[in-house]
Amino acid sequence: MRKAASLCVLFLSVAVLPAEAAPIDAPTVTAFLAACAKDKQACADEIADRVTAADSADRSGDVCLTDDQRDEPGTISKSMLRWLTGRREVAKLPPGAAIDQGAAILYPCID
């Protein structure tokens, strides 16, 4: 009985622990980059997902990727991480806003 009660308490304590927040949920770019150092793949995926979601296939928006860029999400992530790291002015912005800003600069729609 004691063993069952102990297991029940252990299960309940694990079940109520909050899940670790995704890096993109960090309050600032600085915190985002620190989280990226711990989980590079999650950050790469989040950056690539956000940039490709902003892609304007009909070239009418702010972000336009080439077919080659769409096929290489790792390259998009690396470029964006370099851009975020090199821009002090975005350090206190939320990561999503900074990534959107960077995507429009790195991947502009050109007529």
Short-list 48, 49, 20, CA closest to 35: 20
pLDDT digits (tens, 9 = 90+) for 11-30: 433 334 345 788 889 999 99
Whether residue 14 lies inside any domain: the answer is no
Question: Is residue 1 in a domain?
Answer: no
> Would 62 be classed as within a structural domain?
yes
Residue 7 lies in a domain: no
Boundaries of domain holding 59: 19-106
* pTM for this model (two decimals): 0.79
35 within domain boundaries: yes
Q: How many domains does the chain have?
A: 1
37 against 5, higher pLDDT: 37
Q: What is the pLDDT of residue 8?
A: 43
- pLDDT tens by residue, 32-77: 999 999 999 999 999 999 999 999 877 788 999 999 999 999 999 9
Give the model's pLDDT for residue 13. Answer: 39
Q: Which two tokens stand for residue 81?
A: 């991480």
Residue 10 belongs to a domain: no
> Does any domain span residue 2?
no
48 within some domain: yes
